Structures are given as C-alpha cells and as structure tokens.
Structure 1
Amino acid sequence: MSHSRLNNPRVSRARSALANRVKHKPRHAFCAAKAITALLGELASLTNRQLYWSGSSDMAVMSIQHDVNVWCRDGRFFWTDFFRGGAVSHPASDPVGAAALLNPFASIPETSYSQHRRALSGLAAA
C-alpha cells in the first residue's frame, strides 16, 4: 500500500505548478565572484603578498590586509578607507578603478601598517 499523498495527482500538479513559478536568475546576471576575481587580478600585480577571497554569485569578499576587506554585492565594491575616513563604494564593472583606489592599501607592507595602527591606538589611549 502506498501513502495517499505519494500517488495523488493533485499533489503532483501542485508541485509542478510551484516549480514553474520559481524564478531563476538570467544567464547574464551579475556575479560577485567574477567581479572580485577581476579585482584580485588587478591588485595581484601591485603587491607580492597573498590575497584571499571567498564568495558566491550573490556576495563575495576579499582580504587585502589586516582590517581591510573589500565586499562585492549588488554590482558594487565596498570597503572602509581609514585614510580618507569613511566607507567607499565603487562600481564592480570597473575593477581597474577600484584597484587604483585600493592601491595605497595594497602597496603598504603589512608590518608598517600594523606599526602605524599601533601608534594611532597609543595616541587615542593617551
């Protein structure tokens, strides 16, 4: 004996109708992982340090150095610029321009940036 829900034609029609209503992204939709890897390729030529990234088609993140992460979502790159004092947003369709804006972060060696942050935190504590 089978269960009444397993072979019920009404249930199978309802499931197929639900499956037809599910919307899929078009093939030309924005892919955050592709945009972040394009930015990674631009920044890799500027620095010899290891750059890390992770993500999916909806959202991706890349770590440039300690405390500097670039997020890509909804067709834009986002990061916090400590030197200009705020959050920065840049179109993801322009990874070359974003790399030019991120160049100070990529070109500063990690040790000197960490020493700079420690000096600033010492001034703030005093």
Structure 2
Amino acid sequence: MSHWRLNNPRANRVKAALANRVKHRPRHAFCAERAVTALWDELVAVAARPMYRAGTSELAVISVMRGINVWCRDGKFFWNDLVGSTVTHPANDPAGAAQLLSSLTFPLTSPFQRGRHHATSLTAA
C-alpha cells in the first residue's frame, strides 16, 4: 500500500532541489578571519615576538603574548587585559585595537634600562 504523498515524483524533485541548494553567506557578511588578519598586520609592525593565529569566518583568535588572546566574533574583538577585565573593540577598526593592545603588551619604556641599576652615588657599607 502506498500513499500519494510518499510516491509523488514531483514531491521527490522538490525535496532534491531543496537539498541541492547550498546556503552561501552574503558577500558583505562579516569575516572574523579577515579581521584577525588585519589586526595581525597592524601588530607585526609593532611587535617582534612570535604570535599565532587561527580561525574561520565566524570565529578567529590571535595569541599576542602569554596570557593575552584576542578573539574575534560577531564584528568585535574581545580580550582580557592584565587585570582580568574584558575589553571589547569593533572589528572594523584593527588599527585602534592594535594601539590598545600595544599599550598593554609592548610598553614604550622598558622597566629595565641598561646601566641604570648601578648608581654612582652608592657606596659600600
């Protein structure tokens, strides 16, 4: 016993046509991997340390330094600063995010300066 809906060749063709359609993301859709690549290019100019990145079009990550990873998702960069609070920045401004990250990770003045640890005024006790 067969049912007309189960053995209908038209219904089968419609189902096959729907299954063959692949849903593509629109061309103007946000791509997290491109945003992380742009941030990478901005940070490479400032940093001389090894950095790592990985991701897809929906979620991407870049490891800037030990303890600081920048995640990109839904048009935003996310990272935790040295204190532990979460910082968000729009992904369409990688230069601004790189500036915020470089002030965190690559300070302009080094805490150690050669020759500064020996003062001339020190005397032996």
For residues 17 and 57 of structure 1, the distance between their equivalents in structure 2, rounded to whole angstroms, comes to: 25
Structure index of larger Rg: 2
| RMSD between aligned residues | 2.2
In the alignment of these two chains, the number of paired residues is 101
For residues 17 and 69 of structure 1, the distance between their equivalents in structure 2, rounded to whole angstroms, comes to: 41
* More helix as a share of residues: 1
For residues 17 and 42 of structure 1, the distance between their equivalents in structure 2, rounded to whole angstroms, comes to: 43
Q: Secondary structure at the match of 1:64?
A: strand
1:78-101 superposed Cα distances (whole Å, 9 cap, x missing partner): 000124x41000000000100011
Question: Which consecutive aligned stretches of 4+ in structure 1 deviate over 3 angstroms post-superposition?
Answer: none
Where do 1:18-97 residues align within 5 Å? 18-20=19-21, 23-83=23-83, 85-97=84-96
The residue type paired with residue 14 of structure 1 is K
Q: Percent same amino acid among aligned pairs? A: 46
Q: Secondary structure at the match of 1:26?
A: coil
Match of 2:6 in 1: none
* Structure 1 residue 19 displacement after superposition: 4.0
Match of 2:17 in 1: 16
* Structure 1 residue 61 displacement after superposition: 0.2
For residues 85 and 18 of structure 2, the distance between their equivalents in structure 1, rounded to whole angstroms, comes to: 48
- Normalised by the size of structure 1, how large is the TM-score? 0.71
Q: Secondary structure at the match of 2:40?
A: helix
* Structure 1 residue 47 displacement after superposition: 1.0
Structure 1: runs of 5+ lacking an equivalent: 1-7, 113-126
- Normalised by the size of structure 2, how large is the TM-score? 0.71
Match of 1:122 in 2: none
* Structure 1 residue 13 displacement after superposition: 2.4
Q: Secondary structure at the match of 1:69?
A: strand
Structure 2: runs of 5+ lacking an equivalent: 1-8, 112-125
